Amino acid sequence: HAVWCAPCKAMSPIIEQIGKEVQGKARVLKIDVDKNQHLARQFQIQGVPTFAIFQRGAIQWRHSGGMDKSSLKNMLLSFSK
């Protein structure tokens, strides 16, 4: 995410809700691409918001742009089994 990004601001409360709902099954993090430019380069983040699901340090799924809460949560839970 980025602090100047309007879609990121809109997604922020959804991300926080999902983080609470999947507690113990998955860990949800927001990473500021401006403060962590090395990670943005490493994972080739070219647009925000970008969502990624990692397992054992490798990206298993990735999506750029907004998503509805249900779709995002379902995608996350499908990888946490």
The C-alpha atoms of residue 29 and residue 16 are separated, in whole angstroms, by: 9
pTM above 0.85, yes or no: yes
Residues taking part in catalysis: 5, 8
What confidence tens digit (pLDDT) does each residue in 48-62 have?
999 999 999 899 999
Whether residue 49 contacts residue 65, with contact meaning beta carbons closer than 8 Å, is answered with yes
What are the residue ranges in the chain where pLDDT is below 50? none
